[in-house]
C-alpha cells in the first residue's frame, strides 16, 4: 500500500514539475504562433505518440458506455481544448514575465470544482470549506497584482492575463471530476489517448478554418519545441498524471500538484530572473495553505473498527444501521457521506453518518448499507467515504427525520 501511494504521488509530482518547465522554458519558443494553433499542434503530435494505445485497449473501447464517453468529451473540451488554450494565451500575454502568477492561479481549480458540484450536482461540503475557498480567492487577487492597492490594476493587461488564467483553472477544475469518473470505467492509458483524440477532433475544423495559413510559418525550431513538449509536459506528463491518479486519491493528487507552482516560482527566477513582490509571496503562502486545507477537508476518510451494539433506532426510521465507536471519527468533519464498506472481504455501497442523533440526543457514528439485511454485530468493518452529502441536522419531528433519511438514500443511489 505504501509503495502504491509513493509511486502514485511521485508520478503526479514529476508531471507537475514538467508542467512548470513548460511555461518557463518551452512555451516561450512558440510565442509568435496563435494559442489555439499551438494547442492543436501539440495535441496532434501527442496523439500520434499515444495512438498505439488504441490498439492495446481495443477490447475495452467496445465496452465504454455513453456516460463515460460524455465524461471523456468533457475532459477533452475543457481540460484539453479550452483549458490549455486559455493557459497558453495567459502565458503569452505576460510576455513571459510573472509566469509564476499565471501558474499559481491554477491552484484555484479545486474551488471551481467545488462550486460547480454545489451548484449543478447539489453536493454539499463542510462549511469551513467555503470559508477557505473565500480566503483562497482573496489571496488569488493579491498574487495577481504586485501593487494590489489601486483599482487601476483592473484595467491593465495583467487583469486580462489573470482572466485567462482563471478561465484555465475553471476549465481544468471542471474536468477533474469527469476525469476521475472516467478512470473508474477505463484504464488510464485509454483515457490519455482518448483525451488527445477528442481534443484534436474538437479543434480541427475551427483551427483549419482560422489558421490554415499559419501552418507554413511554424519554424523548424518550433516544431522541435512542440516535439519536446509532447515527450515532456504534454502527452508524457498527462500519461504520468493519469497513472498516478489511479494509485492515489484525487485529494492527495491535488496536494502533489502543488509541486507545480512551487517549482514554477523557482524556475521563473532561475531562467527568467522574475521574482514575486513581497505581497505576492505572502499571498502565495496563504493561497497554498487555503487550498491545502480545502483538499484535506474534502478528502476521503477511512475508518476501521468493530460493529458495536446499538438501540435499534435506525429500524424505527426504516434504515437499519451498524453502529461504530464514535471515537473513531475524531478527524472527520461531521455530516453525512456516501461510502464504500468492506465486510469479510465483500464490498458494499452505503452511507456513513457522524454527528448529532435526534433520537438518542448524542453524537453517533453509524453506517447504513444498501440492499443489506444480515446481522453483523461484532464484525470487523472498513468504511471509506467518497463524497460529503450534507451537514448534520437536528429534528424534533421524527416523521420529518424519516423523510430526510429516505431522501438521502434516494439521492445517494443516483
Q: Where are the beta strands (DSSP E) in 307-406?
A: 322-324, 335-343, 346-356, 363-369, 380-390
Instruction: Give the pLDDT confidence score for residue 194 in this predicted structure.
Output: 93
Measured CA to CA, the distance from residue 127 to residue 389 in angstroms comes to 12
Q: Do 74 and 193 reside in the same domain of the chain?
A: yes
Please say which residue of 229, 263, 297 terminates a domain: 297
Say whether both 272 and 308 belong to one domain: no
Beta strands in 294-362 (DSSP E): 302-306, 322-324, 335-343, 346-356
CA dist 62 and 217 (Å) reads 40
Percent of the chain exceeding pLDDT 90 equals: 15
Alpha helix (H) residue ranges in 22-65:
35-50, 52-56, 58-62
Domain that holds residue 310: 302-412
Q: Are residues 239 and 324 in the same domain?
A: no
CATH number at 390 reads 2.40.30.30
Q: Are 239 and 105 part of one and the same domain?
A: yes
Better-scored residue on pLDDT, 145 or 138? 138
What is the biggest distance separating any 2 CA atoms in the chain, rounded to whole angstroms?
Answer: 77
pLDDT at 153 > cutoff 60: no
Average pLDDT over every residue of 332-337: 84
Same-domain pairing of 335 and 222: no
Same domain, 261 and 366: no
Domain boundary among 265, 280, 297: 297
The residue from 297, 318, 351 where one domain ends is 297
pLDDT tens for each residue of 162-171: 788 888 888 8
pLDDT-derived band at 196 (thresholds 50, 70, 90) equals very high
pLDDT in tens, 270-301: 777 777 788 888 888 888 888 777 776 666 78
- 295: cell is 483538499
Does residue 77 carry a pLDDT above 90?
yes
> Which pLDDT band holds residue 197 (cuts at 50, 70, 90)?
very high
Least confident of 47-61, 77-91, 131-145: 131-145
Give φ, ψ of 197 to 5 degrees.
Answer: -65, -50
Same domain, 240 and 364: no
Is there a single domain that holds both residue 361 and residue 243? no
Q: Are residues 282 and 318 in the same domain?
A: no
**Same structural domain for residues 33 and 125?**
yes
Over range 380-387, report the average pLDDT: 85
Instruction: State the Cα–Cα distance between residues 245 and 129, nearest whole angstrom.
Output: 23
* Other beta carbons less than 10 A from residue 143's beta carbon: 33
More reliable by pLDDT, 159 or 37: 37
Mean pLDDT value across residues 405-409:
81
pLDDT band with cut points at 50, 70 and 90 for residue 198 = very high
CA distance 82 to 85: 5
Per-residue pLDDT tens over the stretch 303-315? 888 888 766 666 6
- Predicted pLDDT of residue 96: 66
Number of compact structural domains in the chain = 2
SS3 322: strand
CB 348 within 8 A of CB 273: no
What confidence tier does 256 reach under pLDDT thresholds 50, 70, 90?
confident
CB atoms within 10 A of CB 103: 28
- Lowest pLDDT segment from 2-16, 87-101, 316-330, 382-396: 87-101
Which of 196, 181, 233 is CA-nearest to residue 71?
181
pLDDT tens-place string over residues 199-235: 999 999 999 999 999 998 999 999 999 999 988 888 8
Residue 311 and residue 274 share a domain: no
Is residue 101 domain-shared with residue 117, that is, in the same domain? yes
Q: Which residues contact 46 (CB under 8 A, 6 or more apart)?
A: 196, 230, 234, 235, 238
Output the CA–CA distances (angstroms, integers) from residue 272 to 23, 95, 96, 133, 269, in the order listed.
11, 11, 8, 31, 6
Band of the pLDDT at 43, cuts 50, 70, 90?
very high
Q: Is the pLDDT of residue 407 over 90?
A: no
Amino acid at each position: 500500500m505504501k509503495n502504491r501511494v509513493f509511486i502514485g504521488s511521485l508520478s503526479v509530482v514529476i508531471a507537475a514539475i514538467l508542467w512548470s518547465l513548460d511555461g518557463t522554458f518551452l512555451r516561450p519558443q512558440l510565442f509568435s504562433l496563435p494559442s489555439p494553433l499551438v494547442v492543436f499542434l501539440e495535441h496532434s503530435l501527442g496523439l500520434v505518440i499515444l495512438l498505439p494505445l488504441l490498439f492495446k485497449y481495443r477490447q475495452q473501447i467496445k465496452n465504454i458506455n455513453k456516460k463515460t464517453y460524455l465524461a471523456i468529451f468533457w475532459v477533452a473540451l475543457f481540460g484539453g481544448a479550452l483549458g490549455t488554450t486559455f493557459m497558453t494565451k495567459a502565458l503569452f500575454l505576460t510576455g513571459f514575465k510573472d509566469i509564476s502568477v499565471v501558474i499559481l492561479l491554477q491552484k484555484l481549480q479545486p474551488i471551481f470544482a467545488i462550486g460547480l458540484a454545489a451548484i449543478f450536482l447539489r453536493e454539499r461540503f463542510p462549511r469551513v470549506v467555503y470559508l477557505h475557498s473565500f480566503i483562497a480567492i482573496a489571496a488569488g487577487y493579491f498574487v495577481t497584482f504586485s501593487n494590489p492597492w489601486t483599482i487601476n490594476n483592473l484595467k491593465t493587461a495583467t487583469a486580462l492575463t489573470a482572466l485567462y488564467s482563471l478561465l484555465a483553472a475553471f476549465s481544468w477544475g471542471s474536468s477533474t471530476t469527469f476525469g476521475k469518473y472516467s478512470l473508474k470505467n477505463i484504464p488510464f492509458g485509454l483515457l490519455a489517448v482518448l483525451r488527445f483524440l477528442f481534443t484534436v477532433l474538437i479543434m480541427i475544423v475551427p483551427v483549419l478554418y482560422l489558421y490554415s495559413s499559419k501552418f507554413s510559418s511554424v519554424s523548424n525550431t518550433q516544431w522541435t519545441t512542440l516535439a519536446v513538449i509532447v515527450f515532456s509536459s504534454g502527452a508524457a506528463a498527462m500519461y504520468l498524471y493519469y497513472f498516478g491518479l489511479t494509485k492515489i486519491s484525487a485529494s492527495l493528487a491535488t496536494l502533489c500538484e502543488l509541486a507545480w507552482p512551487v517549482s514554477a516560482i523557482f524556475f521563473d527566477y532561475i531562467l527568467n530572473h522574475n521574482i514575486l513582490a513581497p505581497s505576492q509571496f505572502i499571498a502565495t503562502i496563504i493561497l497554498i495553505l487555503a487550498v491545502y486545507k480545502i483538499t484535506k477537508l474534502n478528502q476521503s476518510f477511512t475508518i476501521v473498527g468493530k460493529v458495536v451494539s446499538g438501540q435499534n433506532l435506525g429500524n424505527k426510521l426504516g434504515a437499519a444501521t451498524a453502529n461504530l465507536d464514535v471515537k473513531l471519527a475524531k478527524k472527520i468533519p461531521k455530516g453525512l457521506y456516501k461510502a464504500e464498506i468492506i465486510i469479510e472481504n465483500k464490498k458494499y455501497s452505503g452511507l456513513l453518518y457522524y454527528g448529532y442523533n435526534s433520537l438518542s440526543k448524542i453524537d453517533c457514528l453509524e453506517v447504513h448499507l444498501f440492499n443489506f439485511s444480515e446481522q453483523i454485530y461484532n464484525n470487523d468493518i472498513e468504511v471509506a467515504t467518497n463524497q460529503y452529502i450534507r451537514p448534520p441536522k437536528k429534528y424534533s419531528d421524527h416523521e420529518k427525520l424519516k423523510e430526510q433519511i429516505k431522501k438521502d438514500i434516494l439521492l445517494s443511489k443516483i
